Structures are given as C-alpha cells and as structure tokens.
Amino acid sequence: MTAKYPSIRRRVQASSLTLSLLLALGATPALAAETAAENAEGSAIATAAAGTVDAADQADDVSRGDIIIVTARRRQETAQEVPVAISVIRGDSIEATGNFNVVKLQQLAPTLQVYTSNPRNTSVNIRGLGVPFGLTSDGFEQGVGIYVDDVYNSRVAAATFDFLDVDQVEVLRGPQGSLYGKNTTAGAINITTNQPTFDFEGRAEVSVGNLNYRQAKAAISGPLSETIAARIAIAATSRRGTLYNVVSDRWINEQDNLGLRGQLLFKPNDDLSITLAGDYSRQDPECCGTAFVRVGRTQRAITRQYDALVAAYNAANPTQPYAVPSRNVYDRLTDIDASLNAGNKIGGVSARVKWDVGPGTFTSITAWRFWDWKPENDRDFTGLSIVSKSQNPSQQDQYSQEFRYNYEGDSVDFVVGLFGFKQRIDTQGTEQQGPDASRWSLTNAAQINANILNGLTARNIQYLKSTSAALFGQVSWKVTDALTIQPGARINYDKKSGYYQRRVFTGAGVEISCPSTDAVTAAQCGVYTPQLSAPSASDWNFSYDLNVNYKLASDVLAYATYAKSFKTVGINQNGLPTDAAGIPIAAAGTVKPESVNHYEIGLKTQFWDRRATFNLTAFRTDIKNFQVTVTNGQFGVLRGYLANAGKVRSQGIEADFKIVASDRFTAYANGAYTDAKYKKFVDAPCPPELAGGSIPNCDISGQRLPGVSKWAFSYGAEANAPVSLLAKDGQLYFGVDGNYRSHWNSNASPSIYTDVKGYALTNFRLGFRSDGLDVFGWVRNAFDVKYIELLQVAPGNVGLIAGTPGDERTWGGTVKFSF
C-alpha cells in the first residue's frame, strides 16, 4: 500500500479483520478464519469502489490477513502498529470461552487481576496495580479505567455485570493519562459494543448447563429510515449457588443477572453521526457468603482465639454446641446466619457525536450513569450471631462530558481532549451486634456482662462529592517512514468533599457518647465509636509521557515509553482512625496523591507471511505514596481506611505468541512474569499471625503486593475439519483453552494463612458451525481442579480464615443463530 492514499489504506485496514490477531488473546480460531475471509472480501469491495489502490498491494494485505482494528489511542489503528502493550479480546472469543464479564476476563489476559468478595468490593488491577486490596472506599480513584463505548464507569461494580452485545475488549497496560478522559495509572479496559447497522441483522444465543445454568442473549439491528438505525440487545444469566448454607437450607452465591441495551444512530450524511444509547442491568442474587478454610494462631491470649472461643461457647451452651459444618472448604458448606443480598442496579444514558471537520474528527461524549447497591452481609463469617446485621446501601450518580478532536496528517497526527466529571455517592449504613458478640469482643465485654453488646447498633450516613476536569492530548510526529515520536501531556484538577456521621445506640435504643468512664459504655465504645468527620481535598496535577517507536522492518516495530503519572488525592470517607484517647485523627482525613514513574520497552513482530505473531514487553513502574487500605482487624471500631505506603515497585516481562498454521489449525499462548513489591511500608497493619502482639504496626517492606501471581499464562488452540451435517456445509471443530496462575497472597499485609496456592484450569469445547449457526458443547475446569478465588481474615483477630472456592467442573451446551 503506498503512502499516496492514506485514507484508502485506513479503510482497507479497517475492513480487514486479521485472522492471526483475532487469536492473539483467545479468539475462536475457526471463527476467526471465517471472519477474516468475510472481511477480506469486504476489503476488496471497498478497494474496488475507491478505484485507486494498487491491486498487488491490496492482494498482499488480504493474503496475509493480519489486521484487527483497535481504538486504544482514540483513533482507528491496527493492533500491531500501536506502540502500546495491549490485549485485544474479540466478542466471539468471550462467548466461546464462557468469560462473560470482566471478573472472568483474567483467564484470557494474564496481567489482569480481578478479585471480588461482592460487586462493591471488587478490585481490578493490571500488573498488580490499580486499587488497594481489601475493603473498597469511595474516597479514592480507580487505577484501571473501565470504558464502555467511550463512557467512563467510575465504579468497579460495573465490571461484575454480564458483557452485553460486546464487539471487542481492549486491555491497555500502563498509565493512560494523555488519551483518556479520566486519568488512570495502571491501565484501561476499553469495551466496544456492537453498533446499529443500516443492514438488517440479528443474533440469538442460548446456553444451558449443570448447576441449573441458564443464559440467553439476543440482539437485533436495522434501519428505521435512510438516516436512522437502531439496535437493541438483551442478556439474562442465572445459575445455582456454589456454597450450600446449612442454616438457610439454600445454595448461596448464585447468579441472577439481567441486562438491556438500546442504541439509536442518526447519520444524516457521511460526515456526521449521532448515537444515543441507554442501558440497564440488575443483579438480585443471594450473595455473597464465605466458607470456613482454616484457623491460624495469633499473638493473642489462647483464650481469645477461635478454637478456644468456640469451646467456651459450647461449655456455656451444652445443649446447642457450635461446630462448623465442615473444615474442608471444598465440601462447599457454610453456616452463616445473617441475611445475604447483593442487590445491584446500574445503568445510564449517553449521547456520542462524531463530526468530520476538515482534516480531523470532532467527538463529543455526554453521559449520565447511576449505581444502586443494596447489600446484606454476614460480617463475622460464622454461624454464631456475633454481627447480626451488616448493611451499607449506597446510591451513585455520575455525569461526564468529553470533547475530543483527532487530526490525521501526512507527518503529524494529534489528539486533544477536554474532560469533565461530577459524582455524588450517598450511603446509609447499619451494623448491629448479636447475642454472641460479647464473648468474641476484644474489649472484655463478657467479663462485665454477657449481654452488653447484644443489639448494640451503629448507624451512619455519609456522602461524597467529587469533581474533576482535565485537558489532555498527544502528538504523533512521523519523523521518517520508520521513526515516530509521540509526546503527550495532561493537566488535571480534582476536588473531593465528604461527610461521615456515625451514631451508636444500645440494644435498648439509648444513644451513647464516647469516650466514657462507665465500664459498660466503655466496652461498647470499644466496638462502635460515634464519629463525625467532613474531610475535603483538592489538587492540581501535571503529567506527561513520551513514546518513541521505530519500524526495524515492515513487520517489526520496536518502542520505548516513559510516563510521569499520578493518582489523584483521596479522602477517608468511611470514618477516621482515632488516637489513644479515642479522638479522630483529622490529619488522616486526606491521602496524598500517588506519584508514578513508568518505563516500558516493547517489540511487536509478525513473520511466516504474517501467519505468526510474537510480541514482547518489559516494564517497570515505581510509585511513591502508594494508596493502600489498612484495617485493625476489629469488628466495628473502624472497618478500614486509606493511607499511604512509602514506595511500591512493579516490574516484569510479558509475551504473546500466536500462529495460524493453516485454515484448519490455530493456536496462541500468552505469558507474564510480574514482580510487584512494597519497597517501603514501615507502618502497615500486621498480618493475623502477629495480631495481638506487642507491636501495633509492622514493617512489610520487601513483601509482595497482594493479589499478584509472579507467573501467569493463558493458552488455546483449535482444529477444524470441513463436514456436511443435516444438509448444511460447515466445520466440525475442537478447541481447548486454559490458564495458569502461580500462588498469590489474599491479605493486604501478606500472611502465611492467606497464601493462595497456584492452579491451572483447562476448558474444552466441541461443535459444528456453518452459515448462521453454531452449536457446541463445553466443559470448563474440565479436570475439576480445586482452587480458591479469595481468602479473607475474619474480623476480630481470632485467627479465623474464610474463603470462596472457585467453580467446580461445569459443563453444558450453546446454540447460536445469526442472520
């Protein structure tokens, strides 16, 4: 393709989906081949219409079939030409492998880590960085931005919903401050949905499986007039729970999801398009509970540890002694006695305007989103009524506006944008102690009166107001045909203000005040302390990045990146830590911004007539004032608050390989080595094995960051053969995909009791596909590997470790129709 016709070249590339890169991160190989062939034909049609492209150049592009279009840098480019570490996962691959939300997506992207104890307490990290591990606070920003059709989703809870009519997902690794509206220090997940079409089309998909698994998806798109097109999609998922609660005689941790999305496209001419979109999703499962895993010895007196406390309870209740239903977590039994709920609603509307103005494109994205969260939890993780109620429902509204202008010239391209964001979150919390609370309290309440904590209730109201604005941009200067220099910059302003009030009432409904000289009240204050705080903070930040990339050959791209980034100032929104006298420490109301220095080098290569691709990336990220969540392990004094760790470092190597041996066999393999550590954290909370000792805080400098496996791999392959079935010509195919993660720690301060063993999962599928039809059976976790998704230290510092076992072997079948 000659440089003489850059716009035509882009159109040909945009219509030529690559076969090999479709497989880069798990695309269904045979489907990729079919898609590549269809789009090669579309590319040829576009070329013929243009009438100006050299036939030999066009034939070369189509025969090698090596193009997948991404919008990672806010313009259409081929993935192999983007000098950024990026994983591209097609919608077909997501469906074929059963990874239907971001939580499951980590099975295809080794450097992505997603951990969740419920939709609110979900952390999405890339290379071990993003959000603090542990309880979520509204007072800090996400380090990994989640975008759906250019709209920023401020809450990670959005990630727990089913993907709805998704075209592809791009996982960008490293800081993304000069191209994206909201600044993110660890990366971005850019989700693109299928758009309205002026050709009538539709699809439907039904899956059934064991555990009463049911999933249905449908989408239809077409013209309403010559200038208006519409698309509507729906998805519903249900599944029986994975833990059996012997108290309620029910399976819990189930799935009950429903999602709707509608889009309306107005395209009066080739230069202007306006897309209006609305979506609504809800979850209403009985979730999210844990099961007993183990007991670890702490530094507390032996009488204040789990086994001794249970023995003392049984001695006092000989007719109704307590014992967990099983000490083997893989028996999938639990006995939690408090109400469970994970009611979750999220949705919004957006308007996207794209207008070709002269040599560039102006884009406007206006959006409003909401999130309603109605949780009920068993916070003591046991069948005893220690915490009888734990509920913190919240409601969020967010508004965002982004203006962006993209210019593409012969030697200079640039993107410049303006972003505004406003958010309000209101929370109403209730936590109540039960009749067994006094015995388990760390305040010696039982020695005073065995019932003084029964019914003790803390009620809190709080809100957060957050406003941010940014001017950002990036220039791409083509110094030569091979060398490109890309500087970028961002000016950012953030303001946060919060309010938190907690009032405490006895079981008789009498409000208490703290501190108190009365022994009974003092014991109650040791569990719930009234508090009033109104932290606020604002900050300006300037960040920048520089990327230099060089084409060593036509199919070999080398690049190097440096980024000076930040995570904005945070506030402690869930209450403040107190001093020895019980007075809130006002200075802890704000959390310093993170200061990030990021270095990366990479190599993107294609060979064997572009039938094989190998990409290699090495990175290092140094962070000063790393924002972390710390807890004191008690039930009610303070669940957790934000603080700063001195220094953190994440470094590693990532590799992606895929090969298209023929139209009948394709394969891919991706791997990552990640070394993420606290370089300096001298006043961290102690792990449970040191809880209750003489040292209130611990130096965990040199320890690995939680949630990060040093080694992670994913792989897949598919073979197919032409067959005729029921008078239909098509392909019989067999596919395998899997992933491996080495051990990682599930506590903010790494503990010997919360080390999660490494595991490898393998999935198989066998099916038949032809024009408009795909029927296949699948088995996930085919070898029924026993593994843990998350371990949690139970509040109270008594040594109890609870957790969530990963899915057992599941199997089922899927039927897909399209026209």
Quick: pLDDT tens for 165-184. 999 888 999 998 888 888 88
Quick: pLDDT tens for 672-692. 999 999 999 998 888 989 887
Q: In the chain, count of helices (H) and strands (E)?
A: 10, 46
Q: Is 38 helix (H, G, I), strand (E, B) or coil?
A: helix
Choice among 223-237, 420-434, 445-459, 632-646 with the minimum mean pLDDT: 632-646
Contact of 394 with 427, CB cutoff 8 Å: yes
Quick: pLDDT tens for 359-373. 899 999 999 999 999
Contact of 339 with 385, CB cutoff 8 Å: no
Q: Which residue has the tokens 């020695």?
A: 447
Give the number of other CB atoms < 10 A from CB of residue 302.
Answer: 9
Res. 795: pLDDT tops 60:
yes
SS (H, E, C) 731-799: EEEEEEEEEEECCEECCCCCCCCCEECCEEEEEEEEEEEECCEEEEEEEECCCCCCCEEEEEECCCCCC
CA distance 577 to 589: 9
The CA–CA distances, whole Å, from 543 to 143, 179, 472, 485, 492 equal 15, 12, 9, 17, 8
pLDDT at position 160, please? Answer: 62
pLDDT at position 763, please? Answer: 96
Res. 534: pLDDT tops 80:
yes
Give the pLDDT band (50/70/90) at residue 54: very low
Structure tokens at 21: 């890169």
Contact of 373 with 119, CB cutoff 8 Å: yes
Cβ-Cβ contacts under 8 Å for 739 (sequence gap 6 or more): 106, 107, 108, 110, 712, 713, 714, 715, 760, 761
DSSP 814: E
Res. 102: pLDDT tops 90:
no
Quick: pLDDT tens for 404-418. 999 988 899 999 999
Cβ-Cβ contacts under 8 Å for 292 (sequence gap 6 or more): 324, 326, 327, 329, 334, 381, 800, 802
Res. 96: pLDDT tops 90:
no
List beta partners, residue 658.
613, 668
CA distance 412 to 360: 12
Contact of 657 with 614, CB cutoff 8 Å: yes
Average pLDDT, the chain: 86
Backbone angles phi, psi at 138, to 5 degrees: -75, -10
Q: Torsion angle, CA of 751/754/757/763, rounded to 10 degrees?
A: -140
pLDDT at position 143, please? Answer: 86
pLDDT at position 34, please? Answer: 37
The CA–CA distances, whole Å, from 272 to 194, 275, 354, 360, 517 equal 19, 10, 6, 12, 72
Q: Which residue has the tokens 């800090």?
A: 140
Res. 28: pLDDT tops 50:
no
Give the pLDDT band (50/70/90) at residue 159: low
Quick: pLDDT tens for 539-571. 999 999 999 999 999 999 999 999 999 999 999
Give the global pTM.
0.87
Contact of 596 with 625, CB cutoff 8 Å: no
Quick: pLDDT tens for 342-364. 999 999 999 999 999 988 999 99
341-357 vs 360-376, strand pairing mode = antiparallel
Helix (H) or strand (E) holding 464: strand 457-478
Q: Torsion angle, CA of 741/747/753/756, rounded to 10 degrees?
A: -10
SS (H, E, C) 448-463: HCCCCCCCCEEEEEEE
Q: Which residue has the tokens 């309620």?
A: 248
pLDDT at position 48, please? Answer: 29
Quick: pLDDT tens for 248-301. 999 999 999 999 999 999 999 999 999 999 999 999 999 999 999 999 999 888
CA distance 396 to 207: 33
- The residue type found at 282 is R
Is the model more confident about 77 or about 700? 700
CB half-sphere exposure, 375, CA atoms < 13 A: 26
Structure tokens at 359: 């040599």
- 391-427: buried (b, 16+ CB within 10 Å) or exposed (e) per residue? bbbbbbebebebbbbbbbeeeebbbbbbbebbbebeb
Q: Is 47 helix (H, G, I), strand (E, B) or coil?
A: helix
Quick: pLDDT tens for 113-124. 888 888 877 888
pLDDT at position 69, please? Answer: 66
